[in-house]
Amino acid sequence: MKKFKFTINGNQYETEIINIEDNIAEIEVNGSMYKVEVDKEIKASKTPKLVRPKAIPSTDTHPTEAKTSSPSAPKGAGNIKSPLPGVILEIFVKEGDKVERGQKLLMLEAMKMENNIEADKAGKVISIKVNTGASVMEGDVLMVIGE
């Protein structure tokens, strides 16, 4: 935090204030740590200390769980979910259309930016769960693609 140099009775001391909580200060003097009680009330700094929880990606619910099926497994329907909260601007496909992997399905406006939502698998559009202009939250199912 703050470093100070003191000379007391001809002896030099290099000090550093490590931490202050309430009226207890942790001070390092010439490499030795001391906890010092301060009589005077210490005013809190204007900048609060932030403690943030560990960030976990919203898409990583179970890291040990396989995200894809094995090639020999039966193919089923797959949900296309919203990656962000936003508003549906345009839908480029309709129910019954055949889609390829990477094909643009719809456009989502999130945080004043247009985001293209693409198919993550090839198949047929089984159902579309949203309409143009609909507000969606992160993780909402937008459409279902199957065989």
23 and 82 housed in the same domain:
no
Q: Flag whether 101 is in a domain.
A: yes
28 and 82 housed in the same domain:
no
Q: Flag whether 93 is in a domain.
A: yes
Closest CA to 133 of 103, 116, 109: 109
Interval 99-113: pLDDT, tens: 998 899 999 998 889
Query: Residue 130: pLDDT above 70?
Result: yes
The range of the structural domain enclosing residue 23 comes to 2-37
Q: Flag whether 60 is in a domain.
A: no
Q: Flag whether 45 is in a domain.
A: no
Q: Could you tell me the CATH number of the domain that includes residue 140?
A: 2.40.50.100
pTM of the model: 0.47
85 and 30 housed in the same domain:
no
Q: Flag whether 11 is in a domain.
A: yes
33 and 91 housed in the same domain:
no
- Dihedral sign, CA of 37, 40, 41, 43? negative
Residue, of 49 and 87, whose pLDDT is higher: 87
For residue 54, give Cα distances in angstroms to 51, 57, 111: 10, 10, 24
Tokens at 143, concatenated? 């459409």
Query: Is there a contact between 144 and 81 (Cβ–Cβ < 8 Å)?
Result: no
Q: Flag whether 64 is in a domain.
A: no
Q: Which of 9-13, 119-123, 129-133 tops mean pLDDT?
A: 129-133
Q: How many domains does the chain have?
A: 2
Closest CA to 108 of 129, 128, 127, 134: 134
